[in-house]
């Protein structure tokens, strides 16, 4: 079995501290009971080796033997393929998990992150507030009808959506 390694920075600036996306991969490994280790790369010197693993010079990235994956969503889906705890194995449950993971990244996070950035920088008029409220209203309607996003149980989709939504309340 390959060794899973979650790569993160050796240091994180105050603003994004505790919102760094490696928590998604760590949480997924914990939920799935997958053995993993955490290793760091320098924050201040994102050289050629880092860029070869993550072309945008970000973290996290995931190593699984010969497999190298960047982007937290891609890493989460890779881990979900390794454990039924993160994604059901039936075609419907798998498809629903995939769609909710993508929705968390594309429909929710694309609003929460810029909204959060404007909030922490003290923008006088955060014009994204209405858009964010609309997205949160949609999520509230969906979650008022069920406890979990997929398969009547916790999956990687719930993990990612919870992490994306905590930015809006953080």
Q: What residues contact 86, with CB distance under 8 A and at least 6 apart?
A: 28, 31, 32, 76, 79, 80, 97, 155, 156, 159
The CATH code that applies to domain 4-82 is 3.40.30.10
Residue 101: per-residue pLDDT: 98
Residue 11: per-residue pLDDT: 87
Name the one residue in this structure whose structure tokens are 């928590």: 23
pTM over 0.75? The answer is yes
Instruction: Kindly list the averaged pLDDT for each block of 10 residues, start to end, along the chain of length 170.
Output: 88 75 96 96 90 94 96 98 98 98 96 88 88 94 97 98 79
Alpha-carbon gap, residue 27 to 85, rounded angstroms: 12
Residue 15: per-residue pLDDT: 67
Residue 169: per-residue pLDDT: 54
The CATH topology of domain 91-169 is Glutathione S-transferase Yfyf (Class Pi); Chain A, domain 2 (1.20.1050)
Residue 156: per-residue pLDDT: 98
Residue 125: per-residue pLDDT: 87
Question: Tens of pLDDT along 68-109?
Answer: 999 999 999 999 999 999 999 999 999 999 999 999 999 999
Residue 76: per-residue pLDDT: 98
Residue 98: per-residue pLDDT: 98
Residue 108: how many other CB atoms lie within 10 Å? 22
What residues does each domain of the chain span? 4-82, 91-169
């Amino acid at each position: 079995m390959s060794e899973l390694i979650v790569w993160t920075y050796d240091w994180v600036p105050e603003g994004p501290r505790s919102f760094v996306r490696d928590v998604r991969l760590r949480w997924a490994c914990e939920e799935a009971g997958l053995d993993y280790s955490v290793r760091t790369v320098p924050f201040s010197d994102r050289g050629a080796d880092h860029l070869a693993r993550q072309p945008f010079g970000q973290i996290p990235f995931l190593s699984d033997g010969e497999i190298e994956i960047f982007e937290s969503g891609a890493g989460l889906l890779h881990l979900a393929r390794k454990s039924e705890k993160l994604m059901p194995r039936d075609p419907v449950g798998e498809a629903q998990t995939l769609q909710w993971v993508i929705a968390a990244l594309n429909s929710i996070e694309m609003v929460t992150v810029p909204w959060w950035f404007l909030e922490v920088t003290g923008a006088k008029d955060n014009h994204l507030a209405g858009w964010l409220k609309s997205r949160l209203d949609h999520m509230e309607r969906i979650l008022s009808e069920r406890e979990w996003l997929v398969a009547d149980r916790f999956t990687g989709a719930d993990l990612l959506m919870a992490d994306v939504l905590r930015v809006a309340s953080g």
